Structure 1
Amino acid sequence: MKIRLGLVVLMVAAIVAAPRCFAADSSAPRVGLVIGNSKYPDADKPLSQAVSDAREFADELKRAGFDAELAEDLSGDAMRRAFDRLYQRTKPGAAALVFFSGFGIQSGRQSYLIPVDAQIWTEPDVRRDGVALESVLNELNSRGASVKIALVDASRRNPFERRFRSFSAGLAPVIAPSGSLVMYAAALSAVVTDNDSAHSPFVSALREEVRAPGLSAEEAFNRTRTAVTRASRGEQVPWISSSLADDFVFVPGAATADKPTAEKPAAATAPVEAAKPALAPPEAKPPQAAEAKPASSGGDDDKLVLALASDPTVKSLTAQIADKPSDGNAYYRRGQVYASKGAYRTAIKDFDEAIRLNGKDVEAYNNRCWARTVIGELEPALADCDQALLLRPNFVDALDSRGLLHLKSGRDKAAIADFDAALKVNPRLTSSLYGRGLARKRIGLTSEGEIDLTTAKKLDPNIGKEFAGYGVK
């Protein structure tokens, strides 16, 4: 499955309906990793601000009570070890923060953080040598972090792009788990140039705002965006995406009112044109094929689509589509956002468009298979998964999606075969471990099934709730 979510409809509905409150973050563990990469051999010269910005921001985090590790000019192996140490320090309920300044590349609809020794000549090299931001956030989530924050100052014109035939500048929107707050130093797909000052305008503004007592992280980031936009006269506009349910505060205390707060987007009064009302996901039911039914229509999904109309990622992607209706990538990314929030039928419509524009979009086929499986449209879902695997044999995400489909259909042996194949590619794929465990128990392999379920729950304590949200128990 390309997109991972549990009872997202209930969570999003709660976020929409409930007033925001301050989380008890002052007592929760706080861990951070701050990376400044400046000395890239492929660049004409070292980045002038990456290391100094990282040092300054690491100091700010330590003053705010974070157990923050500072790392500079990391190779690929060193970056992976640094992230592994962060994961080990992340305990259930913790607030985990990642700051990265250096070069970043978007490839395959994801943003990758690039180590200094990366050998990048083709786009597959990006996925081999880079660290995917979405993977970092998902791993922090699986470790139980209640708040996940990513600050990325990597919207630079990098030295690798001239080697690609097809290249998208800047960074891509991130599909982050619930409880995440992500901020880029510049707008999606935009690039900025370092100036000659000791620190970037982004970190200079951010450092000031996170010091304010009682100011929520989301408001601090909004103020940072306003300050950077004004300082650059609109040439650099940071991008923010938030799915926090509670306000996280860097410095506890009474909120200050000495600065005007950045205006937040007004609630949408109607869905955007391309995001027509979708249908609610099915209730969790036993996984027999005869009981798999399409979701019934209702007002809950209408509310989701209305709420998402003002989501920064949805707004940005909708604007891209309006400007260029042939942009299949924008349809695909927006479909991911809708699906991750539970607006499955609206997501399927976007995947439809992505596939219409590019009949070989293997990831769109896989995600449409997954979304159709969740709402019980099993026959067309199977055709989508089969097509994805025809286009890309042994595609681990499609194997995982088809395994879920077989599980919902009651074809347990077929599900085990697909999950086995997925786990050969990625032995730590939690959803395949859990799905195989359920299937094994159904066919009488109780002890083997329990081992799979226990292993999956250790990797992701919420995996059971996720499958229950799919209608599989």
Structure 2
Amino acid sequence: MKIRLGLIVLVLAAMIAAPRSSAADSSAPRVALVIGNSKYPDADKPLSQAVGDAREFADELKRAGFDAELGEDLSGDAMRRAFDRLYQRTKPGAAALVFFSGFGIQSGRQSYLIPVDAQIWTEPDVRRDGIALESVLNELNSRGASVKIALVDASRRNPFERRFRSFSAGLAPVIAPSGSLVMYAAALSAVVTDNDSAHSPFVSALREEIRVPGLSAEEALNRTRTAVARASRGEQVPWISSSLAEDFIFVPGAATAEKPTAEKPTAATAPVEAAKPAPAPLEAKPPQTTEAKPASGDDDKLVLALASDPTVKSLTAQIVDKPSDGNAYYRRGQVYASKGAYRSAIKDFDEAIRLNGKDVEAYNNRCWVRTVIGELEPALADCDQALLLRPNFVDALDSRGLLHLKSGRDKAAIADFDAALKINPRLTSSLYGRGLARKRIGLASEGEIDLTTAKKLDPNISKEFAGYGVK
């Protein structure tokens, strides 16, 4: 499953018109840990920007009302103690933020933040000495944080990479709990080189955007990505993943005017709210409360309500300028789906597939959306096609598992969830779905183990599945 939606359609519509929640109005506690690591003994020289960026970013967060702790050139023990203090400061309902600038390494499809004293010669050393970003976000979630934000400037060519053959450059996608917003300074598996300036272009742009009054965190990060991509002429494009169920605003105040765009789409062609990653798909998919298909009128209202979003405007402008841009249709479809405008999402995925009959991501996401709204047979055809195009595609296995679960084909659901978990043992939706299916066929103890494990990874997973109409 690709897009996890955290709210039902009716609640979404109400939220659009309602006042901001506690996270948005800054009444909830705000805690942060900011780390700048520059002096790695294995590197040829200290990183020129990490510590200075961390200091200034910590100051920025304090001005925004965060209780921010700053750490510089931290050893493994010091980093673990700093994270423990962050966990202790994270109370239920809090917004918790982690900023890291230094070296990062991906291993086993996870991203690790590297302390300055790490002794890395083999891949197991990464997992021993590094701090797994997923583990940090999951721990913050277990402490009750309603908003988890991770900003990572660690997509650098590091000094350890030639020491083991299985090394992969850059950072890996993160499987984060609901209510998370993650941003990397560069695209997945990509690296950038520090320039001679005192501050990285990523952090400079980020600081500028988060101080804009009334601007949501998703919008601030999307503007940051656009600014960095523009400044680097497309050589550095930050990566974003979001499963926020509500807007979070760094600096409360009246929303500011949008930055001008080259081409303004008309109201008839503009669509949704999208502060989601353009280069990579969203990590999560969330719920609908019933099997009933959403009325087209509700869908139209959502599209109109979200029409002013700058990301949607940009995607719509791309489509107007180049109607054959299947990727723009696909990305806009993701946004529609993430906000509950399912019919419009399907239309965009239809176009993406018409333009590229081998667009496996579009087939998978159309399968998931159709599953959510109860169009199960067309959904099955989409999932089957996605798996024909890309065998063992974990997202399509997960989507088809949900489809079988909703159809009452419990053994088929277990087979698909088993296959997905063999590829990614931490895929919470497959764990929970398999637990439900196992209990249905009488494997009560095995099912309970799956459900308990999934809930530890994501305490909101049961609400998500209830939203799918599956219990």
Tell whether the 8 Å contact from 2:122 to 2:163 is kept in structure 1 after alignment.
yes
Change (3 A) 1:301 1:248: closer
Q: Residues 265-414 of structure 1 correspond to what in structure 2 (within 5 A)?
A: 271=271, 298-414=296-412
What are the ranges of 5 or more consecutive residues in structure 1 without an aligned counterpart?
none
- Show the counterpart of 1:443: 441
Residue aligned with 2:230, SS:
helix
- Measured after TM superposition, the shift of residue 52 of structure 1 is 1.0
Change (3 A) 1:48 1:441: same
- Measured after TM superposition, the shift of residue 162 of structure 1 is 18
> Equivalents in 2 of 1:396, 1:279: separation in Å?
19
Tell whether the 8 Å contact from 1:282 to 1:471 is kept in structure 2 after alignment.
no
Tell whether the 8 Å contact from 1:366 to 1:397 is kept in structure 2 after alignment.
yes
Tell whether the 8 Å contact from 2:172 to 2:188 is kept in structure 1 after alignment.
yes
| Count of residue pairs the alignment pairs up | 471
- 1:110-162, Cα deviation, whole Å (9 max, x unpaired): 99999999999999999999999999878866764322345466899999999
Tell whether the 8 Å contact from 1:49 to 1:200 is kept in structure 2 after alignment.
yes
Tell whether the 8 Å contact from 1:112 to 1:127 is kept in structure 2 after alignment.
yes
User: Which range moves more in the overlay, 9-18 or 405-414?
Assistant: 9-18
Change (3 A) 1:421 1:314: same
User: Which range moves more in the overlay, 85-94 or 403-412?
Assistant: 85-94
> Equivalents in 2 of 1:127, 1:318: separation in Å?
42
- 1:50-87, Cα deviation, whole Å (9 max, x unpaired): 33111332355467675656566899999999989977
Tell whether the 8 Å contact from 1:338 to 1:344 is kept in structure 2 after alignment.
yes
> Equivalents in 2 of 1:345, 1:357: separation in Å?
19
Residue aligned with 1:291, SS:
coil
Change (3 A) 1:132 1:209: same
> Equivalents in 2 of 1:92, 1:159: separation in Å?
39
Change (3 A) 1:343 1:164: farther
- Measured after TM superposition, the shift of residue 418 of structure 1 is 1.5
> Equivalents in 2 of 1:344, 1:57: separation in Å?
38
> Equivalents in 1 of 2:127, 2:331: separation in Å?
18
- 1:183-241, Cα deviation, whole Å (9 max, x unpaired): 88899999999775534577568668978999997899899999999999999999999
What are the ranges of 5 or more consecutive residues in structure 2 without an aligned counterpart?
none
- Measured after TM superposition, the shift of residue 305 of structure 1 is 1.0
Change (3 A) 1:280 1:227: closer
- Measured after TM superposition, the shift of residue 92 of structure 1 is 3.6
User: Which range moves more in the overlay, 63-72 or 238-247?
Assistant: 238-247
- Measured after TM superposition, the shift of residue 15 of structure 1 is 2.0
- Show the counterpart of 1:215: 215
Tell whether the 8 Å contact from 1:104 to 1:171 is kept in structure 2 after alignment.
yes
> Equivalents in 2 of 1:282, 1:115: separation in Å?
29
Tell whether the 8 Å contact from 1:109 to 1:329 is kept in structure 2 after alignment.
no
Change (3 A) 1:311 1:328: same
Change (3 A) 1:177 1:195: same
Q: Residues 30-429 of structure 1 correspond to what in structure 2 (within 5 A)?
A: 30-36=30-36, 48-61=48-61, 66=66, 68=68, 70=70, 92-101=92-101, 144-151=144-151, 197-199=197-199, 203=203, 271=271, 298-429=296-427
* Aligned-pair identity (%): 94
- Measured after TM superposition, the shift of residue 398 of structure 1 is 1.5
> Equivalents in 1 of 2:230, 2:283: separation in Å?
48
> Equivalents in 1 of 2:200, 2:283: separation in Å?
49
Change (3 A) 1:55 1:362: same
Tell whether the 8 Å contact from 1:277 to 1:302 is kept in structure 2 after alignment.
no
> Equivalents in 1 of 2:286, 2:51: separation in Å?
54
Tell whether the 8 Å contact from 1:90 to 1:140 is kept in structure 2 after alignment.
yes
> Equivalents in 1 of 2:304, 2:283: separation in Å?
22
- Show the counterpart of 1:433: 431
Change (3 A) 1:171 1:395: closer
- Measured after TM superposition, the shift of residue 2 of structure 1 is 1.5
Residue aligned with 1:249, SS:
coil
Change (3 A) 1:208 1:226: same
> Equivalents in 2 of 1:210, 1:145: separation in Å?
20
User: Which range moves more in the overlay, 446-455 or 111-120?
Assistant: 111-120
User: Which range moves more in the overlay, 164-173 or 438-447?
Assistant: 164-173
Tell whether the 8 Å contact from 1:62 to 1:68 is kept in structure 2 after alignment.
yes
> Equivalents in 2 of 1:274, 1:282: separation in Å?
10
> Equivalents in 2 of 1:400, 1:84: separation in Å?
33
Residue aligned with 1:289, SS:
coil
Tell whether the 8 Å contact from 2:2 to 2:283 is kept in structure 1 after alignment.
no
> Equivalents in 1 of 2:283, 2:103: separation in Å?
44
Change (3 A) 1:315 1:238: farther
Change (3 A) 1:72 1:406: farther
- Measured after TM superposition, the shift of residue 409 of structure 1 is 0.6
User: Which range moves more in the overlay, 406-415 or 137-146?
Assistant: 137-146
> Equivalents in 2 of 1:370, 1:178: separation in Å?
18
> Equivalents in 2 of 1:332, 1:79: separation in Å?
40
- Measured after TM superposition, the shift of residue 402 of structure 1 is 0.9
Tell whether the 8 Å contact from 2:172 to 2:189 is kept in structure 1 after alignment.
yes
> Equivalents in 2 of 1:63, 1:4: separation in Å?
33
Residue aligned with 1:35, SS:
strand
Tell whether the 8 Å contact from 1:285 to 1:472 is kept in structure 2 after alignment.
no
> Equivalents in 2 of 1:345, 1:179: separation in Å?
25
TM-score (norm 1): 0.65
TM-score (norm 2): 0.66
- 1:435-461, Cα deviation, whole Å (9 max, x unpaired): 122222222333333332233222222
Q: CA RMSD in A?
A: 7.5
Change (3 A) 1:194 1:383: same
User: Which range moves more in the overlay, 143-152 or 446-455?
Assistant: 143-152
> Equivalents in 2 of 1:91, 1:240: separation in Å?
25
User: Which range moves more in the overlay, 205-214 or 63-72?
Assistant: 205-214
